[in-house]
Structure 1
Amino acid sequence: MRHELSVLFDARKRLDIAVEAPLPDPFEARRWLDQEFVRLDCSPLRASGKVLTADKVLALASEVGESGFEDEHWRQAFAQNACAALARPLVVVDVGAMTVTC
């Protein structure tokens, strides 16, 4: 199955990432997202402090910004782990609208 992740930074800037197979195990993917969330010192998006997997994906994309996605290794790891953790073949991260759609 083909997987793809798109990141929209604004109405004019979209990054489409074809995800290389195989995807990591969903547990390992969530662990990778957790580690990156802590490493990059991301903040919870919700006032309650609860952080959903989609929130981590959005916070990471927002934190690294366009320049962070220039790193091919990190870009591919992010896309693989986001698709695996969310268990969806297509993930769209809209940084400007603060949404993740699958």
Structure 2
Amino acid sequence: MARTLTVVFGNGKEFEFTLVEADVAGIGEDAAWRWFDREYAELDCQASSPVGKVLVIDKILNVARFSGERRFAGDAAWAQEYARHAGRLLDRDKVRVDVGNASIGF
């Protein structure tokens, strides 16, 4: 069964990814965490929690936000990796990452 992950930016621009089981099967949960940890650090993302605890949803949102629409549009390979790793961590059939509203819906 295919999964759909959609990343939406505030201007209405959407990037939709269809993931089949093979796209996420080869990624372990630890590997997905490490991918987001690395991207989060490289982008110098800021923790949205006042106590400094960063949840998986915070990392997924902030990596999308700090990467920006241009990276999703201009680097298809990176965008697909983002979708694969987010899909593995969230493990839902339909996910909507709404960057403009800082929310993730299922």
TM-score w.r.t. structure 1 length?
Answer: 0.91
Distance in 2 between residues matched to 1:99 and 1:6, nearest whole Å: 12
Q: Deviations over 1:56-100 (max 9, x none)?
A: 000001001110102011000000000101122222111111001
1:90 maps onto 2:91 in alignment = no
Structure in which a larger fraction of residues adopt helix: 2
Superposed counterparts of 1:1-102, under 5 Å: 1-10=1-10, 12-19=12-19, 21-23=22-24, 24-69=27-72, 70-102=74-106
Secondary structure of the residue aligned to 1:44 is: coil
Which amino acid is 1:89 matched to? D
Which 4+ stretches in 1 moved above 3 angstroms?
A: none
Q: How many residues align?
A: 102
Distance in 2 between residues matched to 1:55 and 1:100, nearest whole Å: 9
Distance in 1 between residues matched to 2:103 and 2:8, nearest whole Å: 10
Task: State the 1:11 CA deviation.
Answer: 5.3
Q: Structure 2: any 5+ residue segments left out of the alignment?
A: none
Which amino acid is 2:23 matched to? P
CA-based RMSD of the aligned residues comes to 1.3
Distance in 2 between residues matched to 1:87 and 1:48, nearest whole Å: 27
Q: Structure 1: any 5+ residue segments left out of the alignment?
A: none
